[in-house]
Amino acid sequence: MTSASASAGALDSLLDRDRAVLILEDGTRYDGLAYGARGTTLGEVVFSTGMTGYQETLTDPSYAGQIVLQTAPHIGNTGVNTEDPESRRIWAAGYIVRDPSRVVSNWRANESLDDALERDGIVGISGIDTRAVTRRIRSDGSMRGGVFSGEAADQSTEELLAVVREAPEMTGRNLSAEVSVSVTEVTPARGDEKLGAVAVIDLGIKQATIENLANRGFDVHVMPQSSSIDDVKAISPAALFYSNGPGDPAASDAHVELLRGALRDGLPFFGICFGNQLFGRALGLETYKLPFGHRGINQPVRDKQTGRVEITAQNHGFAVDAPIDGVFESSEGFGRIEVSHIGLNDNVVEGLRALDIPAFSVQYHPEAAGGPHDSNYLFDRFAEMVREHTSKKGTHA
């Protein structure tokens, strides 16, 4: 064998070992190269439009059960570091990129993105036409899919498709237990003003949320998603907070009942993302699945109270069904409610505000560690609401 043919054989062997396949549940197949860990992963295939912040995206627990496609073509050039993760690990079920960076170029980087994916066992694929996959999802909606690499990629399309179609759909899935803490974790308040304890039900919380609450003077008690109303009352909280998280809000009845009990007790409430959907359900509203969801850091939202348009970070596949104009009554007895924020791309409900009780929520992410920060004022609005409520309680005492 000549040296040229030997080199060609070695290259063929490398490509064989490193090839990967993406299969969508409609039977569409994309052939590419393995990225991250090798093996098989299944989940709902979704796309994120952020051009930056891939480390924050991957470590967002809301992506549990989902294979994330980055629409930005070049990913990984700044590597990953130990300062920017939003949680204790990468939660995405899989990862799809077009052109992974061959080198890491950032003074803060501790390792490459490829190495981080492999360390956390995240199976990915690169080298495919991510624009084509995005357009298919936009046209046909988010769907189940699978990434297969290593020996798994040797199976026929029919065999792989059968595996994908046996995977659970996102509708009806309760994933909170997979991402929540198992015991309460406390972060003390920072600054001179102390507003008391905030009971945070961890449905998939991000570290930036905890930091924002602590910086506003709250002792942040991050509690397991299995916590009861008695567990919440045991810390004598000044307020209740529901975090973002993965899964279908229609499958979280226990969290809805806990919230209703807290609202009836007059506890001030703030919810974001998944917490917004559960607040809607607690008020008596329905939720529904969006065709392909909102995921990225460039989603325009209008605050009806101020008329201001904010560019927001979002990651959700479900939404609240509510009248976007006027005021309506809560069927669960919580008084008058209004939609406070509206998504300008599709008129989706992006926030709810109670007019007779101290409670509000938004569908997007005001903490947005990777940016934008247009909506960070909502944490100030929450702190002010708690101050006013505490002051009224003191007056009536």
CB-CB neighbours of 361 under 10 Å: 30
Instruction: Please name the amino acid found at residue 78.
Output: T
| 365 part of the active site | yes
- Does the annotation list 315 as a binding residue? yes
- Does the annotation list 62 as a binding residue? yes
- Asked if 250 and 228 count as a contact pair (C-beta separation under 8 A), the reply is no
CB-CB neighbours of 318 under 10 Å: 21
Grouping H, G, I as helix, E, B as strand and the rest as coil, residue 322 is coil
CB-CB neighbours of 111 under 10 Å: 14
- Asked if 61 and 87 count as a contact pair (C-beta separation under 8 A), the reply is yes
The burial of 14, by beta-carbon neighbours within 10 Å (0-12 exposed, 13-18 middle, 19 or more buried), is given as: exposed
| 151 part of the active site | no
Catalytic choice (56, 255, 273, 350): 273
Angle at 38 between CA 33 and CA 43, to 5 degrees: 90
- In angstroms, the CA 321 to CA 169 distance is 21
- Does the annotation list 9 as a binding residue? no
- Does the annotation list 317 as a binding residue? yes
Please give the backbone phi and psi of residue 22, each rounded to the nearest 5 degrees, phi first.
Answer: -110, 125
Instruction: Please name the amino acid found at residue 386.
Output: V
- Asked if 180 and 219 count as a contact pair (C-beta separation under 8 A), the reply is no
- Asked if 176 and 255 count as a contact pair (C-beta separation under 8 A), the reply is yes
| 273 part of the active site | yes
Q: Are strands 99-100 and 74-75 parallel, antiparallel or unpaired?
A: parallel
Written as six digits, the tokens of 336 are 């008058």
- Does the annotation list 318 as a binding residue? yes
Q: Which helix (H) or strand (E) holds 315?
A: strand 309-321
Catalytic choice (255, 294, 316, 365): 365
Written as six digits, the tokens of 139 are 């046209």
Q: Which helix (H) or strand (E) holds 239?
A: strand 239-242
- Own/partner contacts of 294-297, CB < 8 Å, gap of 24 or more, are 294/343, 294/345, 294/348, 294/363, 294/364, 295/46, 295/47, 295/48, 295/49, 295/68, 296/48, 296/49, 296/50, 296/71, 297/49, 297/50, 297/51, 297/52, 297/53, 297/368, 297/370, 297/371, 297/372
Catalytic choice (56, 86, 118, 367): 367
- Does the annotation list 351 as a binding residue? no
- Does the annotation list 47 as a binding residue? no
Residues with a known catalytic role? 273, 365, 367
Task: Give binding residues for L-glutamine as ranges.
Answer: 62, 245, 247, 274, 277, 315, 317-318
